[in-house]
Amino acid sequence: MISRTIRSYQFPQRIRIVSIRFCSNNSTDLKENEKITDIQKQRQLDSQLHLVKSRLKIDPRDTSIILFPGQGSQFIGMGSAIFDTPNVEKLFAKAKTILGYDLLKLCINGPIEMLSKTEHCQPAIFVTSLGAVEYLRHRQTSEVESCVATAGFSIGEITSLVFANAMSFEDGLRLVKLRAEAMQLASETVPSAMCTVFLYADAEIKMACQAAREWCKRLQIPEEHAVCSIANHLFPHCKVIAGHEEAIKFLQLNAKDFGIKRMRRLPVSGAFHTNLMKPAKKVLEKVLEKIHLEIPLIPVYSNYDAKIYRSVNEIREKLALQICSPVKWEQILHRMYDRPDDTPYPQTYECGPGTGLLSTLEMVNRVARKHSKHVKV
């Protein structure tokens, strides 16, 4: 059985959420641990609904939304701005035990080639992002207390689930570690790449991907490897395309024919969020079966369908599907910030390395972007 030792934020009674949950390392019979009755499940959902409703009664300007970045935002020196914050040292110490190497040293000193490897940068982004939450809590406790929704981009989705107390920090990091290793292995199997594409209004992006796949087949690339598809929906007229290396080269050579304004390669090692990640999806499914999950205490939006998680089973299913499906980030932002014209916006915080999510927010909702800040790491 997993011990449920919980360290709580010191919140007022009317708004109470649990901070990063830590557990013991001897998790065994997790299925037995999750056998709760339908009545108990309903009580959990009712409790979550009550929490959210209590916050929604507050002036929206006194609430917050917290976003967590994904892979590609890493940089040498990340972690140095938050390490002196209470509890952050504890996060890195636990990470060293779980990962088997000194993550803080790698974050601060590099080299960048090592930090940028999928197997290293995903844990680095996960831990530093949660460290940024601890920094924000230490400096402005009310901004964490009043959080009404959270979401994370790709690996950031796991960060958001840990923040919302759906899983412990340790289990979250183990999941991130195995996910990253599986994705790295899948990337090494097939030469692949990802590109941000900026589109004209009349762009034919689906036709472009289809043509790129047909080109791969003409090169006698096996059909299961002849992949090219949308990996991320970022903002209007901007997507990320991923697939076989030859498919990406084809698009770069023929971009104008399909209404693609320009393309920019991403510093990642594979075609994430495409069918080339199916081997990694199988690994993730097995890992998720062994992790103790709970219904999030605040709404967490899924990358897979841009909907709020409603059950533990949904978390297991959608986190696995996410790895080989497009990230619906633009759709998430529309849903998170949808409100009548005369309704104020909450304060948004991007917690973690980089400001990419806030830049994306500006392209989707400029008013919401005006009420946002970055928590540096």
Q: Is 49 left (phi over 0), alpha (psi -120 to 50) or beta?
A: alpha
Burial of 313 (C-beta count, 10 Å sphere; 0-12/13-18/19+):
exposed
What SS3 class is residue 163? helix
Catalytic residue among 64, 73, 154, 372: 154
Q: How many CB atoms lie within 10 A of CB 312?
A: 21
Contact 203, 259 (CB under 8 A): yes
Residue 273 appears among annotated catalytic residues: yes
Contact 103, 180 (CB under 8 A): no
Q: Residue 195 contacts by C-beta under 8 Å, 6 or more apart in sequence?
A: 240, 241, 242, 248, 251, 252, 263, 264, 265, 266
Q: Residue 282 contacts by C-beta under 8 Å, 6 or more apart in sequence?
A: none
Helix boundaries (H) for the chain: 30-33, 38-56, 88-99, 103-109, 112-115, 118-139, 141-145, 155-163, 169-189, 205-218, 245-254, 278-289, 312-322, 329-336, 356-364, 366-370
What SS3 class is residue 287? helix
Edge-to-edge strands, sheet with 260-265: 228-235, 238-244, 192-199, 260-265
Q: What are phi and psi of 147, to 5 degrees?
A: -65, 130
Alpha-carbon gap, residue 260 to 38, rounded angstroms: 51
Residue 154 appears among annotated catalytic residues: yes
Nearest to 328 by CA among 351, 358, 307: 307
- The answer, yes or no, to whether the previous bond of 111 is cis (omega within 30 of 0) is yes
Catalytic residue among 120, 233, 273, 371: 273
Catalytic residues: 154, 273
